[in-house]
Amino acid sequence: MAGFQVLAGRRQVSPETVERFRGLPVANISDCMARMTAGGPALRPMQAGGYLCGPAITVKTRPGDNLMVHKALVMAQPGDVIVVDGGGDLTNALIGELMVAYAVTRRLGGFVINGAVRDCAALRTVTLPVYAAGITHRGPYKDGPGEVNVPVAIGGMVVSPGDLIVGDDDGLLCVPIDEAEAIHALTREKMASEAVTIENIRNGSHDVAWIDAKLRSAGCPLPG
């Protein structure tokens, strides 16, 4: 029934697509998605380091309850990223050291927790990416309800099962399955363009004439 269900995983981005995206600057990917997609600035990396990149297995749960997170952890395959919509509530932690340790042994891709985590000192010693909205020592309940492999929304960012999740120090975002190849190509083009700009900055040939042109077109008076 809706509100208390576990669905089988459907199609997801291919391992080849995941590897093509791995390490690309999230800011550049975001620019190529028209700057319209973001998981919100509250979701920050809690781990020692490491790039988040993998297909989503999604969880929608009652705030403070991680029964369905445990179920998703058992269902997830190597490389999968468990994306949890816990409503952004920070009262109770949804994962901690034990669940992260288990995820490491299963070679998962990471966690995105729209809620709180705990055992943050331990999380800072691992490289498994863990993004969360906050920290609390209070543990979770394990009663449900909740749903696994349903579309979820985090900060206005819709994540469907199998979508690509990427994250670095700037934050994270979701790349829809059907747009992944096109967005990858655009991101590579942008990176090539930015490399030229960086070289021009270094050699003193960077063109800044566009700034005054933009101001004049907006009717802004300029000195001189």
Max distance between CA atoms of the chain, in angstroms, equals 70
In sequence order, what DSSP letters do the residues of the chain get, joined into one string?
Answer: -TTEEE--------HHHHHHHTT--HHHHHHTTTT-----TT-EE-SSS--EEEEEEEEEE-TTB-HHHHHHHHHPPTT-EEEEE-TT--SSEEE-HHHHHHHHHTT--EEEEEEEE--HHHHTT--S-EEEEEE-SPPPB----EEESS-EEETTEEE-TT-EEEEETTEEEEE-GGGHHHHHHHHHHHHHHHHHHHHHHHHT----HHHHHHHHHTT-----
The CA distance from 60 to 87, in Å, is 8
Amino acid at 118: R
Residue 1 has pLDDT above 80, yes or no: no
Question: Model's pTM, two decimal places?
Answer: 0.93
Mean pLDDT of the chain: 95
Residue 164 has pLDDT above 90, yes or no: yes
Residue 139: per-residue pLDDT: 96
Report the residue count for the chain: 224
Query: pLDDT per residue over 93-140, tens digit each?
Result: 999 999 999 999 999 999 999 999 999 999 999 999 999 999 999 999
Nearest to 163 by CA among 21, 75, 58: 58
Average pLDDT over residues 145-164: 95
